Amino acid sequence: MKLLGKIIRKIDTLIHVFQSKCRVFFLRLKYPGINLKNVTIEKNCSIIKENEAFLEIKNSFIKIGTTIHASGNSKISINGAFIGNYNMIVAHKEIIIDEGCEIAEFCVIRDQDHDLKNIKKRTSNPIQIKKEVWIGNKVTITKGVIIGDNTVIGANSVVTKSFESNLLIAGVPAIKIKNL
């Protein structure tokens, strides 16, 4: 019985790997110029690259239900990251997520918002999440933010300004809690 369980788990793993490779294959067909290398994309993910946009995902794992949208002539570069379930990453300008980043579930990373005086107008500033950043669940990161290396962002935080490396930050809006 133990052997049968091991065989079933192995077959299940092979099926998931095959399905991910099919998703990557079809994304390459749908969006010529998309750069996907050594990436696992689980089911129900929405990866969108508009015509002039640059989208690169390397050495990363993207969990169920995540949306990544590079609009207009924006740039999204994700390298060596783990992206949990049901996240939203939307760029109108630029979002860079560096190596070793771990993003829990239900996070929102958007480099744009609407102008309060003219809701049809968007304002946008790049976001950079540097190496080895850990983002707790339900975190929102807004336009123009740079998160330094080795920073931990507590769950349910809203990050509206940049932070240096080696910090624990949390809150609404996020503030420095302590040095790490």
Whole-number pLDDT of residue 126: 98
Report the predicted TM-score, pTM, of the whole model to 2 decimal places.
Answer: 0.90
Whole-number pLDDT of residue 164: 97
CA distance 60 to 111: 21
Whole-number pLDDT of residue 16: 84
Whole-number pLDDT of residue 3: 83
CA distance 141 to 7: 42
Whole-number pLDDT of residue 117: 86
Question: 168 near 178, Cβ under 8 Å?
Answer: yes
In the DSSP assignment, the letter for residue 163 is B
Supply the residues annotated as catalytic: 114
User: Both ends of the chain: CA-CA distance in Å?
Assistant: 47
The CB density around residue 152, as the number of other CB atoms within 10 Å, is 19
CA distance 129 to 149: 8
Whole-number pLDDT of residue 17: 84
Q: Where are the domains of the chain?
A: 2-179
Q: In the chain, which stretches have pLDDT less than 50?
A: none
CATH superfamily of the domain spanning 2-179: Hexapeptide repeat proteins (2.160.10.10)
Name the pairing type of β-strands 140-141 and 122-124.
unpaired
Whole-number pLDDT of residue 87: 98
The alpha-carbon radius of gyration of the chain (Å, integer) is 18
